[in-house]
Chain A
Amino acid sequence: MNRYATMLASYLKEGGLPFQMEHTDDCERIITNGDAIEIDDSACKFTRAITVVPANKIDEMLKVANRLNKEYNYVGFYILPSNPSVFCASYYFSLYGSEKEAADQILKKYYVFTKSLTDAFRK
C-alpha cells in the first residue's frame, strides 16, 4: 500500500468512518460513503456515481454535464459509457509533501468535492 493511502486510512479509522480498501494494479482504492478515493504516489481522484442514465436521456444529460463543467471549477462531470451509462463526478489533483500534508489535503478537497455536488444538485 502506498504511504499516502496508509495515512488516509488511519485518519478515517480514527474518525470512525466506515471504509473499504481495494488494491488495484495502478492505485489504492478507498470506498467510503459510496465514493471512490483512488490514490497513487503522485495523485488522488475522487469519483461519485450520481445516477444511471436511461439511453433516451443521454443527449439531455450531456448538456447537463456541459453546464456543470462550466459552472464548477474543480469537479468534472461526465457520462461513463458503460452499460447502463452512469453519470459521474470526479475531482483529480496532485499529491505532494509528507503523508500528513497529503492526508490533510485529501480531506480538505474531499469537503470541496462533496459540497460542490450538494450545491450542484440542490438547484
Chain B
Amino acid sequence: MHLESELIRMESKYSITMEFLFQELHISYKKTDDEATENTYMIMFPSKYVKQNMVMLELDDHNELSFYGTLPINIRPEHQTELLRAINQLNCEIPSFKAYIDEDDGSQELAFSRTHQLYGDTSKALVNAIALIQYLEKYMDMYVERVIMALKK
C-alpha cells in the first residue's frame, strides 16, 4: 500500500477513535475546521481553578497525540522570576509534562504541554488516549496549585 494512503487510513482510524473516546467519556469537544490544523480537537473539562479548562488535542501524521492547555495569568514583572522558578522546579520533577509562560500579543498565559504516542489497534489507542486525558486532568490542577503556593511565599 502506498505510504501516503496508509497514513491517511491510520489518521482516520485514530480520528474516529478520538471522537468515540470523547463521546464515551462525556467530554465536550469541537473538531477544528481549519485545514492547517486538521485532526485538532478542542476539549473542555472541569477544573478547580477555572470554570472550564480548555485544552487543544492534536493528532499528527506520526500518530502522536499532543495536548496544549493554557490558563490566563496576570503576573507583575517583579513576580515573574518567582513564577519561572516554580515552573522550573515542576519541569525538573515531572519531565513527562512541560509548563512555561507564553507571552504573545500582550497577553500572558501559563501553558502546559505533553505528547503521547498512539499505537496499535483501536482499543490500544483508546487506552493510550484515556491515559493522556487522565494525566492532564491530574497534573494541570496540581501545577496550578504549586504555582499559586510558590507565588504566595
Contacts and interface: CB of A to CB of B under 8 A. Distances in A.
Contacts of B102: 70
Contact of B92 (A43, A78, A96, A105): A78
A59 B79 CA distance: 12
Given A66-B100, A70-B102, A76-B98, A96 B119 contact: yes
Interface stretch (A7-15, A19-27, A86-94): A86-94
Interface string B65-89: 0100000000000000100110111
A66 B119 contact: no
Contacts of B85: 62
B96 A65 contact: no
Interface string B112-132: 010111011000000010000
A3 interface: no
Contacts of A88: 92
A43 B94 CA distance: 13
A79 interface: yes
A80 interface: yes
Contacts of B44: none
Interface in A58-112: 59, 62-63, 65-66, 69-70, 73-74, 76-81, 88, 90, 92-94, 96-97, 105
A36 B94 CA distance: 16
B88 A62 contact: yes
Interface residues of B, number: 24
A76 B99 CA distance: 9
Contacts of B98: 69, 76
Contact of A97 (B96, B116, B119): B119
Contacts of A63: 84
Nearest to B84: A62
A70 B100 contact: yes
B10 interface: no
B89 A76 contact: no
Contacts of A74: 115
A31 B119 CA distance: 28
Contacts of A90: 95
B111 interface: yes
14 contacts: A59-B81, A62-B85, A62-B88, A63-B84, A66-B87, A69-B99, A69-B100, A74-B115, A80-B92, A81-B92, A88-B92, A93-B117, A94-B128, A96-B120
Q: Which 5 A-B pairs have the closest CB atoms?
A: A69-B100, A62-B84, A78-B91, A92-B96, A92-B95
Interface of B: 66, 81, 84-85, 87-89, 91-92, 95-96, 98-102, 111, 113, 115-117, 119-120, 128
